[in-house]
Amino acid sequence: MNGVSDDRGLLARLRAEGYDFFTGVPDRSLARLQRDAADLVDAQHVPATWEAEAVALAAGSALAGARPCVYLPESGVGYALEPLLSLCRPWGVEPLLLVGRAPAAAGTPAGAAGCALLDAVGWSAYRVIGAAA
């Protein structure tokens, strides 16, 4: 895991790293990323209805040769765990998670536990974006 304090220029950096498919669930700390991703062609960016759907989309794209990123709020990590463990890991695909972290004052119990959950299951392919990253 590594983190950055905001998402300015993040999409361009990720694309330079070879990531070519973006999906996820909106989060305030990832607003720029989502705005920039909206300019991608439809096949490269799909807003999802919830975190598990986004991870499943990413898993399918990875099987077809894409390098996917999933953006999500830290409070949604719990929803993402099931497909990470039951689809991505058995299939040997590893989408990069971009975890939006809210300021502590705006946090939720689920948000506070989010990255700890990823650590607990050994999912290291994530970056924290936002407050206290």
Partner 1 sequence: MTPELPAVGRAEALAEIVRRHGTEALYVVAAGYLAGALREVVGERATVLYLPAGAGLAPAVGLGVALAARREVVVINGDAALLASLGTTHTLRDRAPAHFFHYVLDNGGRESAGERPSPRLEGAYSGVTEILAVTRDGAPGRSAPAPSANAAEVRDFLARPLAPGGAATAQARPPLELVVLPPGVSPRRRRG
Binder among 13, 17, 50, 120 for partner 1 (CB under 8 A) = 50
Integer distance in angstroms from the first to the last C-alpha of the chain?
Answer: 10
Listed ranges 30-38, 42-50, 100-108, 118-126: which one lies at the site for partner 1 (CB under 8 A): 42-50
Nearer to partner 1, 59 or 72 (CB): 59
Least Å from the CB of residue 93 to partner 1: 7
Q: Is 77 an interacting residue with respect to partner 1 (CB under 8 A)?
A: no
Cα→Cα distances 56→13, 29, 99, Å: 24, 23, 16
Question: Could you tell me the CA-to-CA distances from 65 to 46, 60, 104 in Å, in that order?
Answer: 16, 9, 38
* Binding status of residue 64 toward partner 1 by CB under 8 A: yes
Radius of gyration of the chain from Cα atoms?
13
Structure tokens at 44: 């490269």
Tell me if 17 contacts partner 1 by CB under 8 A: no
Are the C-beta atoms of 77 and 107 separated by less than 8 Å?
no
- CA angle 30–9–51, rounded 5-degree value: 30
Check binding of 24 to partner 1 (CB under 8 A).
Answer: no
Q: Is 63 in the site for partner 1 (CB under 8 A)?
A: yes
Binding site for partner 1 (CB under 8 A): 21, 23, 42-43, 46-50, 52-54, 56-66, 68, 82-83, 86-87, 90-93
